[in-house]
Amino acid sequence: MVTPFAEGAIVRAGKRARSIDIATLAGPGNVLVLTPHPDDESLGCGAAIAAASRAGRDVLVVALTDGGLSHPHSRLFPHDRLVALRRAELIEATGILTRGTGDTIMLGFPDQGAPDSPADRAAVRNRLLHLIEERNVSALWTTWEKDPHPDHRRAARIARQVASARPALRLWRYPVWGRFIEDAPGAGDALYRFDGAAYRSEKRAAIGAHRSQMTALIPDDPDGFVMDARARRHFIDSPELFIGHGAHV
């Protein structure tokens, strides 16, 4: 996992990026957030989720994977217990960001096993298309295809397939671990900055709700993931970044 000792290229570029408002990010309808793991929604776009909710949009958070590999050697939290914990953390975090109005769905793919086969990708795409139609979704937010984690990249790939089938859908990608690498947005991409300072307390609380990832809650796995305090501060204090093709602005 990338450790953020320095800001990456996209964070540096974000300081010069145009600001974007929630009406542009969300469009006229509701928002679906496709998160690779429980916690990426709070880290990458928690303030925007809160802003969308306050603006009267319904927010649905769909987690691709169960997050069950964050502490693979814990005996106190074997796989099923860890998955249940991460599900509860996602529900709590979404509730904080949306003041209890947001919904969550976990698709249950294994951690580091987000759908990659054509059949699995098609099944998820069709499920998301159904949700978009059913929930009057006008915007799909997901992780950046250059994030250095396979589940993040696969989420972006599926989201592009969904957007191809719904040209009016606003597709935005947000970097998570991509904030700390030297990859930059691709040709034709437009980078925008969302100032979520007004929702910082909600974002801080939502990130904190993911206790298995942010604290020593699971003490018996030296290989388990716990986010560095500097990374937490970065995500809480920094503007959120969204990448699109410029067509929605």
Place of tokens 């139609």: 133
Specify the CATH number of the domain 9-243. 3.40.50.10320
Q: Are 4 and 178 in contact (CB under 8 A)?
A: no
Q: Residues 149, 46, 62, CA angle at the centre, nearest 5°?
A: 60
Instruction: Output the CA torsion 243→206→7→3 (10° steps).
Output: -120
Q: What is the pLDDT along the chain (249 residues), one digit of tens a residue?
A: 455 557 899 999 999 999 999 999 999 999 999 999 999 999 999 999 999 999 999 999 999 999 999 999 999 999 999 999 999 999 999 999 999 999 999 999 999 999 999 999 999 999 999 999 999 999 999 999 999 999 999 999 999 999 999 999 999 999 999 999 999 998 899 999 999 999 999 999 999 999 999 999 999 999 999 999 999 999 999 999 999 985 455
- The single-letter DSSP state of residue 29 is S
CA–CA distance, 112 with 149 (Å, rounded to integer): 8
Q: Domain extents for the chain?
A: 9-243
Give the pLDDT score at 1.
Answer: 47
Q: Kindly tell me the sign of the dihedral angle through the C-alpha atoms of 70, 76, 77, 78.
A: positive
3-state secondary structure of 133: helix
- The single-letter DSSP state of residue 248 is T
